[in-house]
Structure formats: C-alpha cells, structure tokens
Chains A and B, each alone.
Chain A
C-alpha cells in the first residue's frame, strides 16, 4: 500500500452525562473508546457497526469537528489537535465531510450556488468573478447542471441533494472525505447512482474516503479495507475480501450472517444474537461483546482482549484467537 494519509492513535471521545440543577457530571458516554488505525492515500476505509457504536462520532472527531478526550490524529504527519487556529483553518479544506441526511444538511434559505461556493470564498480560494465557473464545474462533476445554480434545496430530490452535498465537499479539492452514511436516506435505485459517483470521483481525483455505513453490502462494494466497531471500540479490521470471506470476530460473523440476501433459493446458517446493544454509558466489563457472544468464556468478562494483528494486516480483538 501507499503512503499513510491519516493515522489515528488510541483516540477517545467521551461525552459527559450531567444531572441536577448545577449540571455536575455523573458519568460518561464512551462514544469512542481507544481506537487506532491508519488510512492510506487514495484508499477507501469502510466503517461498519450498529447504531450507537460510535462510528459517526469517530468520523467527526478525526476531522476535528469536535474535540477529543485523548489520543492523537495525524493528518499528513501533523497532529490535528495540536494545530493553532490559523494552521487548522488552512487544513480545513483538505478534510471534508458528506452528511447523512440530505434534507437537514443544506441551508434552505441559500441557493445551490451559494451553498456550494460559500467555502471557496471563506477560504479565499476563488475570486468573486471566477466563483460561478468553479461552482458550475463542481456541480457538473456531480451530475448536476449549470441551471441548478440559482435554485433552492427544496426543489431537489434526495439523490440530487446528496449530489449538492458532494459538490460542496469536492469544490475545495480535498484530500480526505468523511462520508457519513451518504446513501442511507436514499432509495435503492438512487443509492447505486451516488455510490457510482463517489467511486468515479475517487478514480479521477484520488480522494481518500472514510465511508461510514451500517449497510454491509454497500460498504463491501465501495471499500478497500473495512473496520467493524462495537460500543466505541474497533473489534476487527482487514482487507475487504479477507474480512467478508474470513471474519474472525464473533460479532463480525453474526453481522455478516444477519444481512438478508436477495436470493430466495439460498439457505444459510444464521447466527442470531440475543438481546440488544448495551448502553455505552455503562459498557460491560472485559470484552464489551461478551454479553451477546455465543462463544463467551470466563476470561471474556474479566480481561479486555488485545487488538492485534492476526496475520497480514487482519486486526482483531478477541480472546478466542
């Protein structure tokens, strides 16, 4: 693989739970609880997990949309949490995000031209007279047309709005894009259009993606490597092919077997997990998955399993191995 673009080292993000009139802290929600990984240049890292596992918080924290609790994030060898205001401002255009909900992530009072062009002006990356050309170019790259520039978000369908969100991210010529569930709110036939667009843009411009989704089939399609999160921790990460064909962690196995496959003649053995995801404010001791794991041993509730390489870059945290 090529050079490392982003390196995350033991990153933690806790949210405090407050109570009483004085709002003193009574506990923490451990949304991201000690996660380490790297993303290579030009690569798509898929991140899967169920709701509440911390994948969105992780995505937002590594581009410093919110502060960390501890740990480091190196973007091109610079620690993004140690940067001064002005340095961070210069770095912002290089790290962009596409949000999940195309309905709430666009300002309804701004035209598409203003939405897409705003950041260019903000970062002094374009003069006023060349702004329109740049915006039109970005819209066209995303399959929209120049006449859309004067319209408002409510005039567009979900898929088109997501294209506007993508145009807004790529007009700054970023290196790294966090795509946070970019297709989850869209219909199946439109999902395919957006997934294809993201892959085409990567081919042409060499973007690096962190693709966050709960849809394991979409993640498999778009990613080079895939990480699986459970309750704030990374439980497994490997090359796409390796992870889907040879999953090692019982949680990954259960997740994969739970995905419905559009083939009625196929009979599969299914692992059905018991119970719900525990609360991240009060995670289980030892391995966080031990309360739902079909292979639980005594050790699992006592010791936290180490997240280690099980061979050729296949990382997993499980006592079984």
Chain B
C-alpha cells in the first residue's frame, strides 16, 4: 500500500545461547502507516523489544536475524550494509530507550550527545549543532535549555533525562520513532507529561510511532492500531477501539482483565494462571495453551495461524477456526 511507511514480513530473530536456541522473534509481520501510532503490547520476554531492535539491525551475537524483510520506504533494511544503515539510524528512524538513566552517556554533556546526531546527519558545524540542540531542548519543554545543554546526565531528574532522550531522537525529524517503554521508569505525573509531549510532537512532525509497552492504559491512550505479542509471536492485532472492546484471543482477554481499573470496582482480579513459558522449552502447539482456560486437543498439537476473525481484526487462536 502506498501509505505504508514500514512493512515487516516474516521476521525471525534467534539467539544461539549456550543452553540452546531461543526464538525471540518467530515469524512476525506487520505494517506501520504514515502518521500512525502502532502499539506493541506484551509481557517481558515476549520479543517486543527484539522486534524493534531488529528493524535497525541492532542485534548483537549470539543473536541473529535469520530471515524476513523490513521494508522502509521501499528499501529492505535487512539487506543494507552497516555503513548504509548507520545513515538511517538516528535520522529517518530513531529510538527512545526505556532507561533514561543508562542510555545516556554519563561522560558527555547533554548538548554533546544531541549535537552528535545533528552533526552526523544534518551536516552542521559545532556551533550550529549546539544552537539546534538548545532549540530541541526547548521543543521538549526543558526549562533553562541554554544551561541544561552544558550539563551532564546525572544532573538531571528522570523525567528531564527522558525529555533529553526524546530531544535527541527527534532532532533529525525522523519519519519513524521507535519508543521502547518510554515511560515505564517514570512516575505517573511525569509519565503524563511525557505522553502529552509525544502526542504533540507526533502531530507537529507527522511522524509514525512504534510504541512498545506493557501498560494497556498507555496503549489505549496513545495507539491507533495495536498488536499483542506472546512468546515471540503476534497473537492478536486490531484497531485500538476494536481491540479493547472486542478482544478475541484468550491471552489478550486475560491481560485486560488482570489489571485493576481505577474507575471500576471488581471483587477479584482475573489472573492468568501459570507463567510465560521458558523460551528454551516452548510448549507444543499453541504456545499459550498451558495457561489457557479454553485449551482443546488441537491447541496442544498444532500451532494456530494469525487469521482474520472479523473485519480488520486478526487473532491466532483455534477457537475462531472456521468463523470466517
């Protein structure tokens, strides 16, 4: 389609660990449209971050991208050489990492770190890069931007560091912004500030956003389209309103019910029994069947495919086999 910015097809990223093969991302396909916010939801270890890192080929050994295509504006990023993909990283596609404490370099000033990307991708000299860095800091709402530019990361609070990370990520007007748990390490009042900021920036710049999170509340607020991942696979995807109103996969339903909601009163939380399977010993058939209350014989034997279960809504579950 013409309005697709990014199309991923059958991406597989495996890790060859000493203990055995871990299929961290196992045949994932999705698209991100221009100007869209794609929410990627799942619990720790489901492969959501590895999917994002695979887009930019930021996978270190023992990890390896085994197969798949990542088509960004007509170019397959997987086939690019290191030198060529470096021109895309930080320029057309940039990343906001989860931990603002550890993802900034402690020995460089904020200005140096923002300026580095600007000098590299926009061909500005040091003086102008600094000016641009101050301007970016103002854009993300940092007070005293002309002083903060010369400060070191440890002098800033968590929320301020995350703003500086965002300033760095948007300094080259990226077409795609990958935000990997951008607010998980922050307090709720600061989270509200950062989400508001991301929403405004998206509207101003018209960028697409891939928002990775485990917080269903954040997804409901920010995303246009949602994919739910479990054990390296997409188990369900739909538009945000459809997904929250009409969830199909038992895992998604379980996730939605296991989180208490501040505006609702419930006597008892519905929990999903058991735990995420060990990636070295995946269960047979559907990976979710040991925890699923609807498990049938077929679920133990073979893996369901991700199929349309109603219009614009896909799920990978045997319950909906033959529904359409």
Chain B: minimal CB distance from A132 (Å): 26
Nearest opposing residue in chain B for A275, CB measure: B143
Type the 1/0 row for B141-160, where 1 means its CB is closer than 8 Å to any CB of A: 00100000000000001111
User: Least Cβ distance of A263 to chain B in Å?
Assistant: 6
Measured CA separation A277–B262 after assembly (Å):
24
User: For the complex, is A66 an interface residue (Cβ under 8 Å from B)?
Assistant: no
Q: For B241, give its contact among A192, A259, A265, A275 (CB under 8 Å).
A: A265
Identify which of B43, B160, B263, B270 contacts A187 (C-beta below 8 A): B43
**In the complex, what residue of chain A is closest to B242 when comparing beta carbons?**
A264
**A185 to nearest B CB, angstroms?**
10
Residues of chain A within 8 A of B193, CB atoms compared? 272-273
Stretch of B100-108, B164-172, B184-192 lying at the A interface: B184-192
Categorize the interface residue count of chain A.
Answer: 35 or more
Cα(A191)–Cα(B271), bound, Å: 8
Closest to B226 in A: A264
Interface size class of B (residues with CB under 8 A): 35 or more
Closest to A222 in B: B260
* B262 contact from A51, A159, A220, A265, Cβ within 8 A: A220
Q: Contacts of B215 on A, CB cut-off 8 Å?
A: 260
Query: What's the nearest-Cβ distance from chain A to residue B40, in Å?
Result: 15
Please determine whether B258 and A270 come into contact, CB atoms closer than 8 angstroms. no
Q: In the complex the two chains form, is A214's CB within 8 Å of B188's CB? A: yes
B residues 207-227 near A (Cβ < 8 Å) are 214-221, 223
Q: Are B262 and A259 in contact (CB under 8 A)?
A: yes
Residues of B within 8 A of A195 (CB): 260, 269
Pair A262/B256 contact, Cβ less than 8 Å: yes
A189 within 8 A of B: yes
Nearest Cβ on chain A to B239's Cβ, whole angstroms: 9
Asked if A258 and B189 sit within 8 Å, CB to CB, the answer is: yes
Chain A residue at minimum C-beta to C-beta distance from B195: A260
Cβ of A131 within 8 Å of any chain B Cβ, yes or no, is no
The reply to whether the CB of B276 lies closer than 8 angstroms to some CB of chain A is yes
In the complex the two chains form, is B259's CB within 8 Å of A188's CB?
A: yes
Confirm or deny: A38 has a beta carbon within 8 angstroms of a beta carbon on chain B.
no
Q: In the bound complex, do residue A220 and residue B244 qualify as a contact, i.e. CB atoms below 8 Å apart? A: no
- Ranked nearest first, the 10 interchain pairs of A and B with the lowest CB-CB distance are A260-B217, A192-B271, A192-B258, A221-B260, A50-B187, A258-B192, A189-B272, A262-B216, A187-B43, A192-B269
New A-B pairs, 8, CB < 8 Å, besides A260-B191, A266-B220:
A160-B275, A188-B43, A192-B270, A218-B260, A260-B218, A261-B262, A262-B220, A276-B160
Residues of B with Cβ closer than 8 Å to A? 43-44, 143, 157-160, 187-193, 195-196, 214-221, 223, 240-241, 244-245, 254-256, 258-263, 266, 268-273, 275-276
